Amino acid sequence: MSFSGMVKEELSKQIGAARHCRLAEMAALLNFGGRMTEDGHLRLQMENDAVIRKYFTLLRKTFNIETEISIRDSSPKKKGQIYYVELSDKKQIEEVLQGTKLMVDGNDGGMLTFCNDLVTQQNCCKRAFIRGAFLVSGSISDPRKGYHFEIVCPDERKAGQLQDIIRSFQIDAKTVQRKKSYVVYVKEGDQIVDILALMEANVALMNLENIRILKEMRNTVNRKVNCETANINKTVNAAVKQVEDIKLIAGTIGFQNLNEGLAEIAGLRLQYPEATLKELGIMLNPQVGKSGVNHRLRKLSRIADDLRENNKEELL
C-alpha cells in the first residue's frame, strides 16, 4: 500500500465524537465526491472502499440512516471496483443536505456545493472538513522520495474555500490549475507534518517524522563528507603546486640562494609531499606553527612565479 493509501486507511477509522465535526466531514465528502443523480438520488462513489465505509458509518451515527454499500465493476480501461452509497428517500436526502449545508448545482451535472460557513466555524470542524476533502480527492507523496500534499478540487470556488480553511491554521496552501481541475497543495515538509496533525493522522505523522530524521542524518553526513573531500582536494592541489614550485627553484637558482628557513621548508616539502602544514611545522627545528609554514611556502611560490615570468620575458 502506498503512503497516501496508509494515511487514508488511518483516517477512515476515525469517527468524530461530536455531531458538528461529523457534519463537517460529511460536508467535505459530499462536496468533493458526491452528486445528485438524474433520478434524484444522493450518491457518493469511490474506488477506495475505506472511504465509503466511513461515509456509511457517518450516515448511521449522525442521521441514524441505515443504508447499504453497493459495488460495481470499474470501466474496462480500469481495473478494480467502484463502491458507492446511494440515498433515494427524499426526506433523508433533505435531512443530509440541510445538516451539511450543501446545495445541488443544477448547472454542473448534479454536483453539490458547500454554501454555508456555519459548518466550519469551529477549528475542530475545520480539521474534520480538511480530513474529508483529503479522503475523497487528496494524495500525499512518499516522504522517502519527496514532500508533496495535494487535494484536487473540481472548480476554482471549492479550491478557494478549502485553501482558506487550510490557511486559517497558518499553513501556506497554494492553488494551481491542472487541466480542468484546481489543486490545493502544500510542499514544505514541516507544513505537511502540521496538516497530518490537523487531520489526526498520528501514525502517518510519526512515520513521516522518522523518515525525515533519517533523511536529515544522511544529508548531514553527506555534507560533512563533501566538505572533508573538498578540503582534502584543496590540500592535495596546494601541495602539488608547492612541489612544482620548489622543483623549479631547485632546477634554476638552487636552494643555496634561499635563506635558511625557506631552504629548510622546501627540502621537507619535497621529502614529505603529503604532509600537512602542521606536520611540516613540527619537523622544523625550532618548530613553527601552521601560519608560519604557510608564510614560507607562499614566499617560495612567489619566487617560483617570478622565475616563470622572467623566463617568459627571455623567450620573447
User: What pLDDT, on a 0 to 100 scale, did the predictor assign at position 77?
Assistant: 64
H or E segment and range at residue 9: helix 3-12
Cβ–Cβ under 8 Å, residues 307 and 300: no
> Which residues does 162 contact at the CB level (< 8 Å), separation at least 6?
129, 130, 133, 151, 153, 173, 184
H or E segment and range at residue 193: helix 189-199
User: What pLDDT, on a 0 to 100 scale, did the predictor assign at position 216?
Assistant: 79
pTM: 0.71
Distance from C-alpha of 115 to C-alpha of 262, rounded to nearest angstrom? 86
User: What pLDDT, on a 0 to 100 scale, did the predictor assign at position 22?
Assistant: 95
In which residue ranges of the chain is CATH 3.10.28.10 found? 3-200
310, exposed or middle or buried, with CB in 10 Å at 0-12, 13-18, 19+? exposed
Q: Closest Cα to residue 180, out of 218, 153, 207?
A: 153
Cell readout for 191 is 507544513
H or E segment and range at residue 221: helix 202-252
User: What pLDDT, on a 0 to 100 scale, did the predictor assign at position 168?
Assistant: 94
Cell readout for 240 is 602539488
221, exposed or middle or buried, with CB in 10 Å at 0-12, 13-18, 19+? exposed
- Asked whether the bond before 154 is cis by omega within 30 degrees of 0, the reply is no
Distance from C-alpha of 45 to C-alpha of 84, rounded to nearest angstrom? 4
User: What pLDDT, on a 0 to 100 scale, did the predictor assign at position 75?
Assistant: 64
Q: What is the mean pLDDT of each run of 10 residues along the chain (316 residues)?
A: 91 91 95 90 91 94 90 71 90 93 80 85 94 95 91 93 95 93 92 93 90 82 83 82 89 87 88 87 89 90 86 60
Distance from C-alpha of 160 to C-alpha of 174, rounded to nearest angstrom? 10
Q: Closest Cα to residue 211, out of 225, 196, 224, 200?
A: 196
Superfamily of domain 3-200: Homing endonucleases (3.10.28.10)
Question: Residues 213-269: pLDDT tens digits?
Answer: 888 788 788 888 888 888 778 878 888 888 898 998 888 888 888 898 888 898 888
User: What pLDDT, on a 0 to 100 scale, did the predictor assign at position 97?
Assistant: 93
Q: What region, left, alpha or beta, does residue 189 occupy, with left being phi > 0 and alpha being psi -120 to 50 degrees?
A: alpha
Q: How far is CA 123 from CA 24, 110, 147, 166, in A?
A: 11, 29, 25, 10
User: What pLDDT, on a 0 to 100 scale, did the predictor assign at position 240?
Assistant: 87
User: What pLDDT, on a 0 to 100 scale, did the predictor assign at position 8?
Assistant: 94
User: What pLDDT, on a 0 to 100 scale, did the predictor assign at position 118?
Assistant: 85
